[in-house]
Amino acid sequence: MSDYAIRIEGVGKTFGGVHALRDVALRVRAGTIHALVGENGAGKSTLMNILAGILRRDKGTIEVFGDPADFASPVESQKRGIAIIHQELALAPDLSVAENMFLGDLGNGSMFVDWKTMNRKAGSALSAFGFNISPTTMCGDLSVAYQQIVEITKALVIQDCRVLILDEPTAVLADPETDVLFDNLRKLKESGITIIYISHRLEEIFRIADAITVFKDGRTVADLDPRSCTEEDIITNMVGRRLEALFPPKPERDPDGDVLLKVDNLTRSGVLDNVSLNLRVGEIVGLSGLIGSGRSEVVRAIFGIDPIDAGTIEVSGKRQVIRKPSDAMRVGIGLVPEDRKRQGGILPMSIRENMTMTNLEAISRFGITNARAERRIAQASQDRVKIKLGALNDALSSLSGGNQQKVIVAKWLNTDCKILILDEPTRGVDVGAKAEIYSIIAALAADGVGILVISSELVEIIGLCHRTYVMSEGVIAGELKGGEMTEEAIMRLAIPKRRVH
């Protein structure tokens, strides 16, 4: 048998006059976790859809465990032991785990469902791979991480999968859920399953991958060893420039300039303890810390989403009482939340509608929308933040993650806000889109907007911000400025101190 589970040579794919893939080569050793990285549009998903039988290649060769393959449908790919699990899970939330796993054949060829046997088989399959999930649990009651495990188990057992393709599996997972997923992926690898892993999150690639292939502009540009390469090596291959080149020059700002936002002794029992910070005109300030340190809770309180027990908020020198988001918007505060799909935008609505929903007064009169004004404002927003789209009437869901994020930023710019809070502004977007978002942030600061940035990526805080507050266990552990901001200095403050009782 071949050492390679998958061997692809010279594969090409064209859509109309656009070359999605050009002479792509990929070799995935059996029983390994092989990561694919690249910007949106680099060709990763196109190649995986060819491998899964969703698309047909135009040229080139594919071998699966040493045997030639040319899949005309997903069924043919599945018969050869290949399964793909997309970022958007395809489970029925109101059905049980067992029902979802056997959905294609609930009766096992019979007119009647043998519930006891089905639950037993599903439970055995989950247990065989070390997954502690009850087969009778409703899928909607599971966390996203465990829903993914159900999909994986279904692929491994029902489809007899030997090659598992995961497309952005951690995009909507919290860190503990990611740990659960990674532990189980390692178990699968040990059992002989080959895993192809697509992700924009480079830090996790080094945690999980045995090999890395980098795609750019529909081509394979590098095969890297995670044991000897760095994030900078990956980024340089992905975008053709070094890591530091992703960040624009930090805008000039007056360190003694007018204070736009002043927070004093913000307190919420059990969550925040006497948090104080300030933000000046044209300044980009970071809010760093580990997951659970209270970063997002601070900005939720400032924006009026969560109540506070004590403390004051001043905007441009005036004390403000902010009990709900509309109060924050009224005084010029905008918030781009961490979860853009559920909190930042409305995916089924048009790009145009998403861009203008924060300033309905500008596009309507007596409750009637002025379509011409709406189009004019949306077009100006598109030009300002350089959104790549088909048409403004297309659904927000039609855009890539990076362009969705630009739309959500644009909707706040339409309010002429003077304080913009960005919670994980580049999570789940590719490196090229990150650079574009950084440029937008810098341009806003240069225009005098005060920007507060929460980010788990320390290099992002250092490369983007003038200074950063570091949080730990609900308090401000320290403030770092300019050259004081290093990964080591931030982590030293962020790690909780052992308390003496």
Considering the domain boundaries, does residue 198 fall inside one? yes
Of 206, 241, 276, the last residue of a domain is 241
Helix axes 231-239, 431-446, angle to 10 degrees: 90
pLDDT of the residue at 155: 78
> Residues 341, 407: one domain?
yes
Q: Are residues 375 and 472 in the same domain?
A: yes
203 and 255 within one domain: no
Taking the C-alpha atoms of residue 2 and residue 261, their distance in angstroms, rounded to an integer, is: 63
Contact status, residue 203 vs residue 170, Cβ threshold 8 Å? no
Residues 202 and 255 occupy one common structural domain: no
Please state, rounded to an integer, the average pLDDT across all residues of the chain: 85
Residues 437 and 293 in one domain: yes
Residue 164 confidence (pLDDT) above 60: yes
Mean pLDDT: which of 102-116, 177-191, 241-255, 391-405 is highest?
177-191
Whether residues 442 and 420 fall in one domain: yes
Which residues are 217's β-sheet partners? none
In terms of domains, do 140 and 182 share one? yes
Examine the fold and report which residue of 212, 241, 270 is the final residue of a domain before the chain moves on.
241
Answer yes or no: are the C-beta atoms of 450 and 419 closer than 8 Å: yes
**Are 247 and 458 within 8 A, CB to CB?**
no
Domain end (from 241, 263, 285): 241
For the range 273-277, what are the long-range contacts, defined as Cβ-Cβ under 8 Å and sequence gap of 24 or more?
273/474, 273/475, 274/311, 274/475, 275/311, 275/471, 275/474, 275/475, 275/476, 276/476, 277/469, 277/476
Q: What is the CATH number of the domain that holds 211?
A: 3.40.50.300
Answer yes or no: is 486 within a domain: yes
- Please state the φ and ψ torsions of residue 236, each to the nearest 5 degrees: -60, -40
Its sign, for the CA torsion 290, 296, 297, 298, is positive
**Cβ–Cβ < 8 Å for 409, 437:** yes
Residues whose CB falls within 8 Å of the CB of residue 298, separated by 6 or more in sequence, listed in order:
263, 266, 272, 275, 277, 287, 471
Q: What is the extent of the structural domain holding 447? A: 246-494
Has residue 274 been placed in a domain?
Answer: yes
For residues 191 and 272, state if they share a domain.
Answer: no
* pLDDT beyond 70 at 452: yes
Place of tokens 């005060």: 450
d(CA 151, CA 149): 5
**For position 500, what pLDDT does the model report?**
37
pLDDT of 241 reads 64
Q: Is the pLDDT of residue 499 over 50?
A: no
Residues 219 and 265 in one domain: no
> Per-residue pLDDT for 159 more than 80?
no
What tens digit of pLDDT does each residue of 43-78 get? 888 899 999 999 999 999 999 999 999 999 988 998
- If we measure between CA atoms, which residue out of 220, 193, 196 comes closest to residue 35? 196
Mean pLDDT, to the nearest integer, of 414-433?
Answer: 82
Query: Is 162 within a domain?
Result: yes
Report if residue 499 sits inside a domain.
Answer: no
Looking at the fold, whether 229 and 145 belong to one and the same domain comes out as yes
**What local confidence, expressed as pLDDT, does residue 442 receive?**
93
Give percent above pLDDT 90 in the chain: 38
Strands 259-268 and 310-315 come out as: antiparallel
In terms of domains, do 207 and 250 share one? Answer: no
Residues 216, 284 within the same domain = no
Instruction: For residue 62, list its beta bridge partners.
Output: 8
Does residue 295 belong to any structural domain of this protein? yes
Residue 501 maps to a domain: no
Tell me how many domains the chain contains: 2
pTM comes to 0.61
For position 243, what pLDDT does the model report?
61
Residue 129 forms part of a structural domain: yes
